[in-house]
Amino acid sequence: MASSVRARLRGLLGRNRFEGVLMLAPCCDVHTVGMRFAVDVAFVGQDGTVLASRRNLAPGRRMAVKGAACVLERQASDGGSWFCPGDRVVLGIGREEEDEGVSCVQG
């Protein structure tokens, strides 16, 4: 999770690859200027509803979604599923012995 201004500005910039999903919060506008790979992005509203999503956002691009509270980013992937508008995102923060993560409920 990237919640400080510095961490959100850096995001996935400068990395050669990234496994997992990075949450930028608060955030409603992302760019891929200087990125070394395309990213999949999902803009999530305050209530956890995915407002917009884009796969393979190429380096040198920008995307903004008014009303988004956070953005989920991952290195672009041709396989597997990704968030779609209308999906619900639930952030789970558990005890030390439990997993933390982001899950999706198709809606």
Q: Which helix (H) or strand (E) covers residue 10, if one does?
A: helix 5-10
pLDDT digits (tens, 9 = 90+) for 16-72: 677 788 888 899 999 888 888 899 999 999 999 999 999 999 999 999 999 999 999
Cβ within 8 Å of residue 61, ≥6 positions away? 31, 32, 33
Structural domain spans, the chain: 5-105
Q: Which DSSP category does 77 fall into? A: -
Sequential DSSP letters for 47-69? TSBEEEEEEEE-TT-EEE-TT-S
Fold designation for 5-105: Jelly Rolls (2.60.120)
